[in-house]
Structure 1
Amino acid sequence: MIQTVMALVGDIGGTNARFALVKPGSTELTEIVTLKCADYENIEFACQAYFDQVGIKGVEQACLAFACPVQQEEIRLTNNPWCFTRRSLKDALGLTSLKIVNDFTAMALGMLNLKPEEKIQFGGGEGLTDMARLVIGPGTGLGVSGLIKANDDWIPLASEGGHINFAPIDELDVIIWRHLHSRFGRVSVERLLCGQGLVNLYEALAEHTRFEPQFTHPSEVVEAALNATDPRAVEALDRFCRILGTVAGDNVLTLGARGGVYLCGGILPRVREFFLQSSFREAFEAKGRFVGYMESIPVWLCVAEQPGLVGAAAALFNEEVAG
């Protein structure tokens, strides 16, 4: 095995650890491998297993994105027992340079490197080139970030925007809010706009119609909605898209994101055709006196396979991104 001049990039969550190699200064991925986190005692062993699998001794530079807070020296994953320090990982892998970023920071940077075939525009115009952009993605949770142009680079904004309050817009929203308030007290938008959030919506609508819920997993709700076998599932998925439109529009106004909006995460690509026919765009633009402002803003649905890895590669050589 050889020591490579390539750099290591990774996108590590609760279930999977995705790795790839990139040339310095490039976002073109090679040797993409996905490993199951449960198969390895720690991140060091997972990285070494990756090196063994692709036939290299190691690397000198790495940027790894983790699904957890990354501001401290000690990194403790949220849905994964792995825990390590920056210094211990750098030493264990023999690195001269190590960047550690949040997974949604990497996701945001990945949006800037999408190929034309990796994004689908959903309304709006071309967007203002150097203006702020919004990145929002429902998956296991709801990630929210912004991209701000600084000199020749883009700065991804660290955000906990998924935890803002859910603000009902119509009577059905109020009914949904009451259902969730009785269970959770405070109702954040993430309680609705993630995998479990889709189940929460379905259960709220089932209760409202005095129907015994049939599904407990997001994939079951999605399947029933796409096949139109349960009207509550169809309504839950449409309401999911509508609320996402409202929340994305609110964030556009807050950030001044006239450069456009990127939609990412694991849910939307699976329901692409349903989403593109949904009330998302109507809700996105429904901002009263600012309808004209919203109508011009482009929204892109990301359908890329590895945007997190591409974003980690972009973060590695972006001097504006701390890690």
Structure 2
Amino acid sequence: MKSRTALVADIGGTNARFAISDIDELTIEHFAAFRCDMFPSLQAAIKAYLDCIPHRPSIAGFAIAGPVTEETVHMTNLPWSFSRKDLCQASGAKYVHLVNDFEALALSLPFLGPHDLRKIGGGDPVDRAPKVVLGPGTGLGVAGLVFSPSGWIAIPSEGGHISFAAEDADELSLIKLIAKDEKHVSAERLISGPGLVRIYQALAETRGVAVGPASAPEIVEQALHGEDRLALEALGYLERWLGRFAGDMALVYSARGGVYLGGGIPARVFDPSEVTAFRLAFFHREFQSKGRLSSFLEPTPIFVINALDAGLRGAAVALSQAEFLS
């Protein structure tokens, strides 16, 4: 059978990853990653990548951070918009397939091996039980994966935009300070890289501490290295709230097949060289604290996705299943 080679891309709010893939073998070659803020558009990023490689595949699959249901796609956390026609012209492909980035991550799950994952809790996955993948980065993505007679089916969502509920007076006062005049506080507003910055700044304001501008990666590193108690406290809030949100999503999908944490933040803060049992305990306590359903969640396995190319593999899976290729 002739191999089907494609351009695949995983476009987030911060990084744009590209590769060439045999979508039947799910190979990843010519991997490259760029910061999105280096380019005025996705089309420019595509051109920069293709200028570096000798391939010009006739098909392409893009995993996009945001809804991909309309003809013109507007990325949620990036000022980029484009149509499939725009991407065909930029890539030279005859056909372009678009999928939500966390839908692509969900599709990659059955193809991830032990070296791609790091288990941080729970028991063993139940065979063919639903799975859920979620993760904070520039935004907060969520998708499910369910088994059917025809194989695994990804369930995309915009679950990161659900309303966030405070559980005590301290949380409520902090969230009010972060929200200010906004009418809606979503989970993504708090459980994300920008959310970590908001938490850090709000804590500084409540403590009467003057802090300079700091990015999410800087706050994470200061917290992990014990350089800033305020950063450590802010990261603690994010870890607890991530655990709470992950537990909610595990209930929504009945995810006895596992909860999978994607994105750059979990991979860094739950790195085995950095994470402590004490800090993981906060995450697990919030994950399982679901009243009468706490015992239901206790055996649910939780994994961190280490593989940088998981989204690319998922884009290749989505493309291989596209109707035009069947």
- How far is the alpha carbon of 1:301 from its aligned partner? 0.7
Q: Distance in 1 between matches of 2:177 and 2:324?
A: 41
- How far is the alpha carbon of 1:116 from its aligned partner? 0.6
- How far is the alpha carbon of 1:20 from its aligned partner? 1.1
Q: Is the 8 A contact 2:13 2:139 kept in 1?
A: no
Q: Is the 8 A contact 2:43 2:86 kept in 1?
A: no
- How far is the alpha carbon of 1:93 from its aligned partner? 4.6
Q: In structure 1, what is the equivalent of residue 101 of structure 2?
A: 103
CA 1:230/1:91 → structure 2, altered by over 3 Å: closer, same or farther? closer
Q: Is the 8 A contact 1:154 1:320 kept in 2?
A: no
CA RMSD of aligned residues (A): 2.7
- How far is the alpha carbon of 1:95 from its aligned partner? 3.5
What TM-score, normalized by structure 2, do the two folds share? 0.87
Q: Is the 8 A contact 1:175 1:208 kept in 2?
A: no
- How far is the alpha carbon of 1:284 from its aligned partner? 0.4
Q: Is the 8 A contact 1:8 1:19 kept in 2?
A: yes
Q: SS at 2:154's partner residue?
A: strand
Q: In structure 2, what is the equivalent of residue 29 of structure 1?
A: 28
Q: In structure 1, what is the equivalent of residue 241 of structure 2?
A: 243
| Residue deviations 1:63-110 (CA, integer Å, cap 9, x gap) | 112223211222344455554332353366554432111222222223
Q: Distance in 1 between matches of 2:88 and 2:64?
A: 15
- How far is the alpha carbon of 1:302 from its aligned partner? 0.9
| Residue deviations 1:29-58 (CA, integer Å, cap 9, x gap) | 0111234556666545544543442213x2
Q: In structure 1, what is the equivalent of residue 215 of structure 2?
A: 217
CA 1:275/1:264 → structure 2, altered by over 3 Å: closer, same or farther? farther
Q: In structure 2, what is the equivalent of residue 306 of structure 1?
A: 309
Q: In structure 2, what is the equivalent of residue 138 of structure 1?
A: 136
Q: SS at 1:125's partner residue?
A: coil
Q: In structure 1, what is the equivalent of residue 289 of structure 2?
A: 286
Q: SS at 2:270's partner residue?
A: helix
CA 1:185/1:319 → structure 2, altered by over 3 Å: closer, same or farther? same
Q: SS at 2:308's partner residue?
A: coil
CA 1:91/1:196 → structure 2, altered by over 3 Å: closer, same or farther? closer
- How far is the alpha carbon of 1:114 from its aligned partner? 1.8
- How far is the alpha carbon of 1:321 from its aligned partner? 11
- How far is the alpha carbon of 1:127 from its aligned partner? 2.1
Q: Distance in 1 between matches of 2:80 and 2:121?
A: 42
CA 1:53/1:286 → structure 2, altered by over 3 Å: closer, same or farther? same
- How far is the alpha carbon of 1:263 from its aligned partner? 0.4
Equivalence map 1:1-323=2 (5 Å): 6-35=5-34, 43-44=42-43, 46-56=45-55, 58-78=56-76, 80=78, 82-90=80-88, 93-273=91-271, 274-275=274-275, 277=277, 278=279, 279-319=282-322
CA 1:168/1:152 → structure 2, altered by over 3 Å: closer, same or farther? same
Q: Which amino acid aligns with 2:137?
A: G
Give the length in aligned residue pairs: 318
Instruction: Specify every segment of 5 or more residues in structure 1 that has no aligned partner in the other structure, as ranges.
Output: none
CA 1:225/1:46 → structure 2, altered by over 3 Å: closer, same or farther? closer
Identity score, percent: 40
- How far is the alpha carbon of 1:174 from its aligned partner? 2.1
Q: Is the 8 A contact 1:68 1:76 kept in 2?
A: yes
The answer to which of 69-78 and 256-265 deviates more is: 69-78
Q: Distance in 1 between matches of 2:90 and 2:72?
A: 15
The answer to which of 81-90 and 142-151 deviates more is: 81-90
CA 1:303/1:59 → structure 2, altered by over 3 Å: closer, same or farther? same
| Residue deviations 1:151-185 (CA, integer Å, cap 9, x gap) | 24222222111111111123332222222233433
Q: SS at 1:148's partner residue?
A: strand
CA 1:321/1:196 → structure 2, altered by over 3 Å: closer, same or farther? farther
CA 1:60/1:236 → structure 2, altered by over 3 Å: closer, same or farther? same
Q: Distance in 2 between matches of 1:253 and 1:234?
A: 29
What TM-score, normalized by structure 1, do the two folds share? 0.88
Q: Distance in 2 between matches of 1:224 and 1:272?
A: 15
- How far is the alpha carbon of 1:112 from its aligned partner? 3.0
CA 1:242/1:236 → structure 2, altered by over 3 Å: closer, same or farther? same
Instruction: Specify every segment of 5 or more residues in structure 2 that has no aligned partner in the other structure, as ranges.
Output: none
The answer to which of 288-297 and 35-44 deviates more is: 35-44
| Residue deviations 1:271-314 (CA, integer Å, cap 9, x gap) | 22455532101110111222211111000011112221111111
Q: Is the 8 A contact 2:160 2:187 kept in 1?
A: yes
